[in-house]
């Protein structure tokens, strides 16, 4: 997550926060440097910069009545894009697919992936009689090509008239 924004959490709103992904201890919120192309950012605690572990993805949950509300907040929406699924940087491969599927599993109360299995229908075979086979064969070998040829000729004749 190269363009990620660090997240700050306020527990007074009634949510319980669980960090999903955090930075290492070498991170801080830069408050002074405005030109990152020419100037190199440096940690300066006198200006209010705090160095430490900063969450970049938070999972929030709280009780609302008899139900539970769940929210996932990310500091970088690109981490769930198709381009970031299998990207590797400096020899480190990303685990974005695992994070995404785990997040969806948590949001759906561990019912992810969805079970879409259905019972087999009773009518799962097609059987046609001997006479119907002849009609299907003649339709595919003769009637269908004649229809395509007639459509093609009609299109050619109409184009020639213009």
The predicted-structure confidence for 90-149, as pLDDT tens digits, reads as follows 777 777 888 888 888 888 888 866 677 888 878 777 788 888 888 888 889 999 999 999
Return the domain boundaries, the chain. 11-107, 126-162
Instruction: Determine the length of the chain.
Output: 162
Contact criterion met (CB below 8 Å) for 43 and 51:
yes
Q: How far is CA 137 from CA 98, 129, 130, 148, in A?
A: 51, 12, 11, 16
User: Is 57 buried (19+), middle (13-18) or exposed (0-12) by CB count in 10 A?
Assistant: buried
Q: Say if pTM beats, i.e. exceeds, 0.75.
A: no
pLDDT in tens, 9-60: 888 989 999 999 898 777 888 888 778 788 888 888 898 888 888 899 999 9
């Amino acid at each position: 997550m190269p363009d990620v924004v660090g997240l700050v959490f306020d527990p007074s709103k009634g949510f319980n926060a669980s960090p999903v992904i955090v930075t290492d201890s070498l991170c801080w919120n830069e408050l002074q440097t405005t030109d990152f192309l020419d100037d190199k950012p440096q940690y300066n605690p006198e200006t209010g910069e705090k160095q430490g572990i900063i969450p970049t993805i938070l999972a929030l949950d709280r009780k609302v009545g008899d139900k539970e509300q769940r929210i996932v907040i990310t500091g970088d929406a690109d981490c769930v894009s198709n381009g970031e699924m299998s990207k590797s940087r400096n020899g480190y491969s990303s685990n974005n697919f695992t994070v995404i599927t785990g997040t969806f599993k948590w949001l759906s109360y561990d019912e992810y992936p969805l079970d879409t299995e259905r019972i087999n229908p009773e009518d799962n075979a097609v059987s046609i009689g001997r006479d119907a086979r002849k009609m299907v064969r003649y339709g595919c070998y003769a009637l269908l090509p004649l229809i395509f040829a007639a459509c093609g000729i009609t299109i050619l004749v109409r184009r020639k008239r213009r």
